[in-house]
Structure 1
Amino acid sequence: MIEFIDVEKTYANNVKALQNINIKIDKGEFVAVIGLSGAGKSTFIRCINRMHDITQGEIIVDGIQVGALKGEQIRTYRKRIGMIFQSFNLVTRTTVLKNVLVSFVPELSLWRKVTGLFTKEQKIKALTALDQVGILDKAYVRVDQLSGGQQQRVALARTLAQNPDIILADEPIASLDPVTSKQVMDDFRRINQDMNISLIMNIHHVEMALEYAERIIGVREGQIVYDGKASEVTEEVLDHIYKGKVAEGTTEFEGKHAYV
Structure 2
Amino acid sequence: MIEFINVNKTYPNGVTALKDINLKIEQGEFVAIIGLSGAGKSTLIRCINRMHDINEGTLNVNGVDVSNLRGKQIRKFRRKIGMIFQSFNLVTRTSVINNVLVSSVPELPSWRKTLGLFPKDKKIAALEALDKVGILDKAYNRVDQLSGGQQQRVALARTLAQNPSIILADEPVASLDPVTAKVVMDDFKRINQEMEMSILINIHHVELALEYADRVIGIRQGEIVYDGKSEEVTQEVLDSIYGSVTEIPHMNNPEEANV
Alignment of 1:82-161 (within 5 A): 82-161=82-161
Q: State how far apart, in whole Å, the 1-side matches of 2:71 and 2:111 are.
A: 23
Structure 1 residue 62, shift from structure 2 partner:
1.6
Structure 1 residue 181, shift from structure 2 partner:
0.3
Structure 1 residue 61, shift from structure 2 partner:
1.0
Q: State how far apart, in whole Å, the 1-side matches of 2:98 and 2:122 are.
A: 11
Aligned-residue CA RMSD (Å): 0.9
Q: State how far apart, in whole Å, the 2-side matches of 1:178 and 1:102 are.
A: 29
State whether structure 2 residue 54 is matched by structure 1 residue 54.
yes
The one-letter code of the counterpart of 2:99 is N
The one-letter code of the counterpart of 1:69 is L
The one-letter code of the counterpart of 1:30 is F
Question: Percent identity of the aligned residues?
Answer: 73
Q: With the length of structure 2 as denominator, give the TM-score of the two structures.
A: 0.94
Aligned length: 245
Alignment of 1:232-251 (within 5 A): 232-243=232-243
Q: State how far apart, in whole Å, the 1-side matches of 2:15 and 2:109 are.
A: 42
Secondary structure, aligned partner of 2:114: helix
Structure 1 residue 242, shift from structure 2 partner:
0.5
The one-letter code of the counterpart of 1:19 is K
Structure 1 residue 115, shift from structure 2 partner:
0.5
Q: 5+ unaligned residues in a row in structure 1: which ranges?
A: 246-260
Q: Which residue of 1 aligns with 2:218?
A: 218
Q: State how far apart, in whole Å, the 2-side matches of 1:62 and 1:81 are.
A: 11
Q: Which residue of 2 aligns with 1:35?
A: 35
The one-letter code of the counterpart of 1:111 is W
Q: Which residue of 2 aligns with 1:45?
A: 45
User: Which 4+ runs in 1 deviate beyond 4 A?
Assistant: none
Q: Which region of structure 1 is more displaced relative to structure 2, 63-72 or 235-244?
A: 235-244
Q: 5+ unaligned residues in a row in structure 2: which ranges?
A: 246-259
Q: Which residue of 2 aligns with 1:252?
A: none
State whether structure 2 residue 193 is matched by structure 1 residue 193.
yes
Change (3 A) 1:244 1:47: farther
Secondary structure, aligned partner of 1:129: helix
Q: State how far apart, in whole Å, the 1-side matches of 2:44 and 2:61 are.
A: 14
Q: With the length of structure 1 as denominator, give the TM-score of the two structures.
A: 0.93
Q: State how far apart, in whole Å, the 1-side matches of 2:34 and 2:67 are.
A: 25
Structure 1 residue 244, shift from structure 2 partner:
6.9
Q: State how far apart, in whole Å, the 1-side matches of 2:100 and 2:167 are.
A: 16
Q: State how far apart, in whole Å, the 1-side matches of 2:124 and 2:97 are.
A: 10
